[in-house]
Amino acid sequence: MKREWPPLDGLPSALAISRKFSNDPILEVHYRVDKGAMQPLHKLLFYVVHKIILPRREKRTKANYLDLTIMELLLARHPINLPQLMCKLQGLGYGFWLGELFKSLGVPIQEWQEQTTKDVIGDPNQAVVPTLKRGANGPLQRLRSHLADKEKEIEALRVSHTATIDEMHLSFKAKEAELIVENEKLKSELLQT
């Protein structure tokens, strides 16, 4: 689907249409509108557009600008040239509409049957195709795991060494203080003699 749809005479701008259906007067972009943000009437219009006018197989929860434009046309009661729209968007699933049209015109229609790959290209050739063995990434994953383990070990040692160095500094300071006191004591004894 195109992001942009040609503006039609008498319709508001793309941004105005998006603001209207999203119930957001300060919306800044007009790309898509979530169905959850729409009012009940707008949700119904989206359902009609999504299921009948522009049928699609996938479930949709966001209306693109084409959907929003058609919803605006329906609200404004502006005529829509459905055959022209169908011709422009032939990739969509108009089978149920065209089937009824062909039946009413007397055109013979065959029932569509699902085809498999085998029906189209026949039995597949069982040739051996070289591929990577299952688990070929195993050595790489083991190396990455080993590297992660080593990095954790290094971090644990860094924390442990930091704590040991801090303890050594405290012990050194305490020993230094003891030696200073003992040195002063010896000086005073020496002065007395």
In a domain, 4, yes or no: no
CA distances from 154 to 30, 158, 160 (A): 52, 6, 10
- Give the chain's domain count: 2
**pLDDT value at residue 52:** 80
Mean pLDDT of the 13-35 span? 81
- Asked whether residue 181 is domain-assigned, the answer is yes
In a domain? residue 147: yes
Q: Is the pLDDT of residue 2 over 50?
A: no
**What's the pLDDT tens digit per position in 32-62?**
888 888 899 999 999 888 888 877 767 788 8
Pair (90, 174) in one structural domain = no
Q: What is the pLDDT of residues 100-140, one digit of tens each?
A: 777 788 877 666 555 565 555 555 555 554 555 555 556 67
| Structure tokens, 184 | 């002063």
Instruction: Kindly state whether residues 104 and 142 are assigned to the same domain.
Output: no
Residues 19 and 88 in one domain: yes
At 95 the pLDDT is: 61
pLDDT score recorded for residue 112: 55
CA distance 71 to 52: 12
pLDDT of 76 reads 85
Who has greater pLDDT, 11 or 157? 157
Give the residue-averaged pLDDT of 139-164: 86
pTM over 0.85: no
91, 109, 127 - which closes a domain? 109
Q: What is the DSSP letter of 78?
A: -
H-assigned helices in 11-137:
14-22, 40-48, 65-75, 82-88, 95-104, 117-121
Structure tokens, 84 = 């022209």
**What is the span of the domain harbouring residue 85?**
14-109
Question: How far is residue 153's CA from residue 138's CA, in Å, rounded to a whole number?
Answer: 22
What integer is the mean pLDDT of 145-156? 89
Among candidates 20, 41, 40, which has minimal Cα distance to 30? 20
Check residue 120 and give its pLDDT. Answer: 53
Are residues 155 and 71 part of one domain?
Answer: no
Can you name the residues that pair with 175 across neighbouring β-strands?
Answer: none
159-187 pLDDT tens trace: 888 888 888 989 999 999 999 999 999 99
Collapsing DSSP states into helix, strand and coil, what is residue 50?
A: helix
Residue 102 lies inside a defined structural domain of this protein = yes
Q: Identify the pLDDT of residue 1.
A: 41
